Chains A and B, each alone.
Chain A
Amino acid sequence: MSHADFASLQERFAYLTERDSADHLAVNCPAEHLLEFCTALRDSLGYDLLVDVTAIDWDAETSPRFTGIYHILSTTHHNYIRIASDCTDDAEPSLPSLAGLFPAANWHERETYDMMGIRYEGHPDLKRILMWEDYPYHPLRKEFPLAGIEVPFPAADVAETANAKVLPAPMMGGPFVSSADGTMREIEPQAKDESWTEKEEQS
């Protein structure tokens, strides 16, 4: 069924390519056509409920590095569509904003910007949403360590009097994690970051 749907979509929108998917209809859409395609989806194909906006970081060695992902559900025919759109620039990734089309995209795009550092062109108020405004990193990027990185405390006056800093999480004893690939020794559940030790904390 999803194939038939895709064929009819591609007839209308020649720039689409089909995307591997374990479930719903999924398409790749070039970023420059994203706005046009989503407008058509909403206005003439019944996909009216934008449920999710996110992105995938395929790590620094891969190009295109960032892929924006959109899930739209139809409140009339109850089908999902997944739209994937690669960011052309790996260093400063950006995508067109859908906030004008779906108000729901406003917060989702702010979150993706916050976590991944993708700039959404045309977004009314693109600022951080989960982290604080001056936070210097985008934590869901693959190079960002699980434990975090030391950064200045967000309130400058508190930082000055209390000498407070935002420190990486002590990883000894947790999160107790295992990785998906590697040797048997590496994939065994273990504390990931061993730079932190009790001795170091005491000093």
Chain B
Amino acid sequence: MATTKEISIGDLGARAGKAEEEINGETMALNIGPSHPTTHGVLRLLAELDGDIITKCEPVIGYLHRGDEKIAENMTYNQFVPYTDRLDYLAPLANNVAFAMAVEKLAALEVPERCQAIRVLCCELARVSSHLLGIGVFGMDAGAWTVFMYTFTEREKLYTLFEELTGARFTTSYTRIGGVARDIPEGWLGRVTDFINGVLPVLDEIDKLLTRNRIFIDRTQGIGAISREDAIAYGLTGPNLRASGVDLDLRKDKPYLGYENYDFDVPIGTTGDCYDRYLLRAEEVRQSVRIIRQVIDTIPDGSFYAEDAKRIFSPPKDKVLTSMEELIQNFMITTEGPQIPAGEAYFEAENPKGALGFFVVSKGGGGPYRLKIRGPSFCSLSILDKLVPGHYMTDITVILGSLDFVMGECDR
């Protein structure tokens, strides 16, 4: 005998709708950092995730704030040089040069040609060093570990060269207002040539490992694309700006240190995605090598500091110890600081991470009344809350790696 039993299953459509709501409706808050390997320092990201997709991302900075600008107001210009090492601590030589240039601009002081050439050499070696690390860790962020080993080996050789030049591997403090701390050592240029000859094959190796690597391309192409308009609006500079197709390189467009005398190309990206930023940095290293070669071939003889700037540059030790006038000069500059006239000046240098700017306000005397440091990484990170939403969680690593920022100059 068959019996029937009625079972109520309710409105199927409504149930299905509710299930979908349960899946989609909930978002998850995720805190990344401040201590996290992908944040390259102490950056904290407050992310909101819908499944695997990021819907909101708020960068929180300031964990490395040391009050550099306040410290600067309380010391003389030369005393501040070591603090500039710690801005973009992956390219301290370039920071030293940018700071010295800003103060010299206020003093309307032109350094001799040899000094300029040495500084160009410093800037470009710093760029090679910074980009090598940038590419290496970017590869590592995207899962390509080997590249890091190659680039770190090369960077180590560079640090040996820096040590020979400045006496320190990382915190170089090489420039003084009106010159550099010491002339280049004998035979050093030859060793730089050996280095750049050796770095080119390594760049080819990196190229083979990354540029046509299927996994790397899948993870970077079309990811984190910054439009030309956004790049300008958010004040990006350097490689991040050029990857978005904006032709702006201060070395070409606002030449300083005699960059107009050297022949080099400025690579420009098209799509502004992570892959473009990688390609751009790789090419910039080659261009830097080109500049370095030209500097070595044409480096003029002469003085490595502005000899007539008697109230700005403290003369070299051998002169201080043998001549009365230089001894007095050294004493005055050490106690009172380089005498810079009152006024305001702003100088930006094309550093590896972008335009590092110093705004110096002087009321005369040996130290700045106000010193504002404009760190390119600060601006590069300000775009994150617009750039990251819509990407997968795993893309955060790649986007952060491709922006190549440094918290030292972001938080100052």
**Residue of B whose beta carbon sits closest to that of A24:** B346
Chain B residues with Cβ under 8 A from A179's Cβ? 74, 367
> B370 touching A180 by the CB < 8 A rule?
no
Docked complex Cα distance between A184 and B336 (Å): 8
Nearest-Cβ distance from residue A158 to partner chain B, whole angstroms: 16
Query: Interface size bucket, A side?
Result: 35 or more
A41 interface residue, CB < 8 Å from B? no
The interface bits of chain B over 363-407 (1 if a CB of A lies within 8 angstroms of the residue's CB, else 0) are 111110110101000110111001000000000000000000000
> B363 touching A180 by the CB < 8 A rule?
yes
B69 interface residue, CB < 8 Å from A? yes
> A23 touching B67 by the CB < 8 A rule?
no
A170 interface residue, CB < 8 Å from B? no
B157 interface residue, CB < 8 Å from A? no
Nearest-Cβ distance from residue B340 to partner chain A, whole angstroms: 9
> A71 touching B346 by the CB < 8 A rule?
yes
Docked complex Cα distance between A104 and B355 (Å): 14
Chain B residues with Cβ under 8 A from A56's Cβ? 361, 369-370
Query: Interface size bucket, B side?
Result: 35 or more
The interface bits of chain A over 70-95 (1 if a CB of B lies within 8 angstroms of the residue's CB, else 0) are 01010100101010000000000000
> A52 touching B359 by the CB < 8 A rule?
yes
State which residues 127-157 of A face B: CB under 8 Å.
128-132, 139-140, 144, 146
Nearest-Cβ distance from residue A16 to partner chain B, whole angstroms: 17
Nearest-Cβ distance from residue A5 to partner chain B, whole angstroms: 16
Offer 29 A-B interface pairs, CB within 8 angstroms, sorted by A.
A22-B106, A22-B108, A22-B344, A22-B345, A23-B347, A26-B344, A48-B232, A50-B235, A51-B235, A51-B237, A51-B374, A54-B374, A69-B359, A71-B346, A75-B247, A78-B254, A80-B346, A102-B235, A104-B235, A107-B378, A131-B65, A139-B70, A146-B70, A178-B76, A178-B367, A180-B336, A180-B363, A184-B335, A187-B336
* Among all A-B residue pairs, the 4 with the closest Cβ atoms: A104-B235, A180-B365, A130-B62, A107-B382
Task: Give the A-binding residues of B (Cβ under 8 A).
Answer: 61-62, 65, 67, 69-71, 74-76, 79, 105-106, 108, 230, 232-235, 237, 246-248, 253-254, 334-337, 343-348, 355, 357, 359, 361, 363-367, 369-370, 372, 374, 378-379, 381-383, 386, 411-412
Extra contacts besides A52-B374, A175-B75 (11): CB < 8 Å? A22-B345, A23-B345, A26-B344, A51-B235, A51-B348, A75-B232, A111-B378, A140-B70, A146-B70, A177-B74, A178-B76
